Structures are given as structure tokens and as C-alpha cells.
Amino acid sequence: MIKKLLIANRGEIACRVIKTAKQLGIQTVAVYSQADCNAMHVNMADEAVLLGPAPSKDSYLKYEAIISHAKNLRVDAIHPGYGFLSENADFAQQCEANNLVFVGPPASAIQAMGSKSAAKRIMEEAGVPLVPGYHGDDQTPATLKKAADDMGYPVLLKAAAGGGGKGMRQIWHEDEFYPALQAAKRESMASFGDDHMLVEKYLTRPRHVEIQVFCDTFGQGVYLFERDCSVQRRHQKIIEEAPAPNMPEGVREQMGEAALKAASAIHYVGAGTVEFLLDDDGAFYFMEMNTRLQVEHPVTEMITGEDLVAWQLQVADKKPLPKTQAELKCQGHAFEARIYAEDADNDFLPSTGHLALLKPPATNAFIRVDTGVTQGDDVSVYYDPMIAKLVVWGENRELALSRLYQALGDYHISGATTNIPFLRKVANSQAFKQAELTTTFIEKFADQLTFDESESRGLPLPAMALYVLLDRASNEKMGRHVSERDHTSPWQQLGTWRANSTYEETLSLEVNNHTIRVEVQHIKRLTVTEPRQWRIKLPEQEVVVSGSLNGNTLQATIGEVKSAFTVVKHNSQFSLLNAGICTNFQLIPPDLGLDGSDSKDTNTTAPMNGTIVAHLVPPEEHVKRGDPLLIMEAMKMEHTITAPSDGKVDEYYYAVGELVDGGAALFAFTPHTTD
């Protein structure tokens, strides 16, 4: 019987496992890196042990150290979570060799599915339908390209040992093949220590539908229905739902039976997910099997009422499955939105930051938040930038989607750029409401998901402007000055007084990563005791505002309406909260040309914290605008920096392998000039 459990992971999945273990009366042990010494999962566990420095290879991937700590602490079992060591067959074998229960499938099953090419062969023999592709051992570039040419473009390159979109590239034309192959192999080697690739025909309008399977040690297996995970960026899911909408009952049963056939072929035990591509005509094809608990397992829990972690522990304890197939029921509809620290308007680049404000929506029977961070934590460059998973349930899809949209509006985060505004756009888009799902959803419906200037009408811009004006007035009264100003310049000493005119100015506000200009007219006061007023001019609105600022509370009169707002300040960023909505903004200082910078400077800066992976061209070599120059890796993803114009790189400022701060100049660049 499992009495003490070590969780070989971090973040929200470690917290998730600890929560169920405590409910079952099981003692828990957390592991952590130096970067995570004060993390939520460390504080939740009964005991915690340090593994090493922040990089995963020096901490969470050191399974010898994990097993040693488990033995010293008299642990009965190890739960690997997802990611890190969860699909490492050697780790599973070492657990067994040291009389530790591995809460997952046998090492042989992990090994069988660990190679995508080997998995395809096994599935083919088991009669599971496959996407046409090349899964052979001949890995010469010419052989791989010939397979792609024979299949016809587009094709998909995939890392045989991978998952989560790592080492994956879409190739639409023949001339893109070799550069894409090099990038995919490099990313695969960095992520999995293996650059073996397979090539598949790329379906242009598929849905990503997966089946949750569970098997016990008595040879029994069930499937807990399906999840649609089609809304993805960079081949990684951001919104999942269960059950899959518009799924014919017959196809659901066929897919479920195929998933169980796949599990049976490798003598599977525990929780697993069989992923399929579902085509327009109802045909489906095996994609891969993840031999672990999935990130999106909560939506399955919401529609079945089952605790899948509890199921895992029961099966690992050599007990039969809690329910048979006939006893499992699918009720209602559920969504999961992954809250990431990333910039959706900048190619979803991951971001780091200090979570100065972290206020999730209130949880209840319909709304659940799985997270591993608290207010005041930092989003680190070392790990995946997921902050939380927001999960909602409703009696039907329409109600569940309405709850998702509202709950996203109630999720307030400041200190790091997040994808919450983008997720709200997806949830509110007509295409998503109508379940026009495909793995290219984001690209296909980009027009519904990009910022529209008309959206500014729904933002509390007058309140933001009022806060900026009151805050500035308060600073001036206290003798403080805004750091961006040049205090020696007479133009910065004028204030708002004018002899024979009304002072007007333009405030540039960056709101949810978009610049909006607000015209402000300072209304003259007849007496010094009269409250200050300003006329705010917007393209479709003109209103007089006044108010007061007391700490974090803004009392605002906007036109005839009085409202109270809470403002949270973090460095130069602000979060404005009112009526369940959080709007992040900052004031963009005017460019007065006083900083002495050369406007012709074309040095390219790092878009985020990361590590230099490769220099793609040598210094002094002529390049064209858009040519790849340098590759950075951050938060498990590669990012290519391209030439800003025709020209040449004079020198690189960082060597391969060096860590770079976001905003740092990466190289000196001289643009090409014509006489």
C-alpha cells in the first residue's frame, strides 16, 4: 500500500498530485531546484528535498538523485507528473529496480511509445489507422527529403522521441526542407538528446482529438471519452475541451476502441492518452500515445466526475479500475484554458516577470484553477511559462463557453505579459463559438483574433488617463519627478499653466500591448480650491473627468458617473481593476530626443531572456532583410532572430551557450547603403 509518495516534478502538476494524495491520506515529498526553493509545491508537501541548480538538467532531470532521496526518506512510490522524467523508460526501470512503485506504465510501454517511428509500426500491426508517412531508420537528409517529395507537400517533420511541439516543423515547399530539417533536428537533440526524425503527410484541415485511456494490472481497460485539443500555437495546446463538439457517436466509439487496441498492443497500465487526427470526412489517424497524465486531464475529470490522479494511485497500488466502461458517464461540457506568460502579439514569445498581482477568479463547482504559483512569485526563464490552467464546466457547450469568457475576465495578473486577452478573443470569436475547429485555427481565423482599434471603445481609457494625471500631480506636489524627464530642460519645468490658452497634451498609453493615444485638455480652475478637471478626447468619446487618488483606490467621476477602481502598480506598469475586469496599461513617455541615442542604430536586441543556440552567418557576410542570423532558446522553445535590413553583422556580442537578458543587444549590424 502506498503510504508515502514523492512527486518528481514541479509547478501546478506537483501541486495537483499533492492535493489528491493528501485527500487519500498519503504523505508527500516534493523535490525542488534552487530557483524553486519557495515554490508552492514545496510549501504544500510534507517534506521537500533540494536537487540542485535551476537548469532542469542539474535538478529535475537527475533521476539518480531523486531515487536516492526517495530511498533515504522511505518513500513507497514516485509520481512523475508530466514532462521532465514522466516518459523516461530508464527512470521507470530504476524505480522498479529500487523497489519503488512508478506511478505510470511499465518501462516497456514507455519505450514502445517513446519513439514515434517505432510506435507507428506497432500501431500498424495492431490495426490502428495511420497517417501516411516515413518512419524508417535511414536518417540521411536525402532519404528524408525523398520521402517528403514522394508524399507531396505540405509535410510535417516530427522528432521521433519528442512531444509538446518540440522538434516539429511544417514544410510547405521543397526549398524549405533542408533548413527546416536542421532546425527540427537541433531542437530535438536539445530537448530529448535524440535527433531521429519522421516525416508525415500534413493534413490541411484536421482536428486534434485524443482519447483518455486507463488500464489496470488485471488486463482491464476503459476509455474516458475524448478531448478536442485543436486550438494550438507552435503545436502546443492552449484551449482544450471535452467532449469534442460535433463528434458523431459512432466515431467516438470507434476512436475509443482503437485507443484501447493501441494500449493493449503494448500491455499498458495506468493513465495514457492516444492522440488522433480527425479529418473532415470522419476518418481518423493515430498520431502518438502519451504514456502519462496529460496537462488537459481536468476537462475529462469535469465531465466524468472522476479524479484521475486517484485512479493512477489506485492502479499503481495493484487495485482494479474504479469503474467499468458501462459505468462511465459523460455529463455536460468543459473547457481548459492555459494561462501562459507570453506575448500573443509577438509570435507568442514567452515572457518572464514578477507576478506583482495574481488574482484568479473565485472557484466553485463550475470553475477550477490548477496552478503552481502565488502572488509575488517570478516567472523564470528556466521552465515552461505556464502560470495556471483555468477549467470551467457547464451543462452544455454554450454555457461552459460563457463561463470561460467571464472567468478569463476575472483572472487578474500584473507583472508579466500573459495570453489572457488573446484567450478571451478566442473564446469570444464566432469561429470558436461555432466550433469551427482545426489545428490551424489561430492562423485561419487571425482576423477575428487580432486587435481592432474599435475595441478601445470598451476600455476604461478615461479612468486610466485620470489615474496618470492624478498620479503625476501627486508626484509633483511631493517634489518627485518622473524619471524619464530631463530636469535641466526648461520645457520640463512649465507644468500645465498657460498664460492665454488652455493646455492640451497627448498621453500615449500601452493597453494590453497596444498603443492608444488619448487627447487631454486641462480645464482651468477659477480658484485653487476648485477640484481639478480634465476633458478627455477619444475618437468616439469626449468626457470631463475628475477624481481623487488614495493609495491604490481611484475615485473617479467620468461624465456623470462615479466609479471606484483599484490600481496596482508594478514598476512602470499598472493594473486597473473594476467590475471583475482587469486592464493592464502603462504610460509611454514622450520621445523628446534627449537621450542622445543614434536613430540610425540598428543593433538587434533579445526579445526575451534566453540562451544563444547558434550563429547562422559569420560576421561581415552580406545578408538580406529577413535572413536568419541567430537562434535563441527560451523556455524550451527556439526563436530565430532575422536581419532587420540588407547589410552585415559586424560582431556578435554573445557566444553560443551564453545566457542573455531580454532587451540586451545581440549583435552590431551595419545596413547596406547605396550611393
> Catalytic residues, which ones?
292
Q: How many CB atoms sit inside 10 A of residue 477's CB?
A: 8
* DSSP structural state of residue 478: T
DSSP state of 56: G
For residues 339 and 404, the answer to whether their CB atoms sit within 8 Å is: no
Q: Is 239 exposed, middle or buried (0-12, 13-18, 19+ CB in 10 A)?
A: buried
- Candidates 279, 334, 391; CA nearest to 12 is 391
Q: What residues have CB less than 8 Å from 467, skipping those under 6 apart?
A: 549, 554, 565, 567, 574, 576
CB 409 within 8 A of CB 403: no
| DSSP states along 399-445 | HHHHHHHHHHHT-EEESS--SHHHHHHHHHSHHHHTT---TTHHHHT
Which residues are CB-neighbours of 543 under 8 A, at least 6 positions away?
462, 535, 536, 558, 559
Q: What are the cell numbers at 570?
A: 508594478
Helix, strand, coil share of the chain (percent; to 5):
30, 35, 40
CB-based burial label for 410 (10 Å; 0-12, 13-18, 19+) = middle
Contact between 338 and 550 (Cβ < 8 Å): no
Q: With b meaning 16 or more CB within 10 Å and e meaning fewer, what string describes 96-111?
A: eeeebbbbbbbbebbb
CB 272 within 8 A of CB 213: yes
Q: DSSP secondary-structure letter at 150?
A: H
Query: For residue 127, what is the enclosing H or E element?
Result: none
CA-closest candidate to residue 570, choices 352, 340, 344, 355: 355
* Residue length of the chain: 675
Rg (CA), the chain: 28
With CA atoms as reference, report the closest residue to 79 among 65, 59, 100.
Answer: 100
Per-residue cell: 532: 481639478
The grid coordinates of residue 404 equal: 470561460
- Grid coordinates representing 587 are 504610460
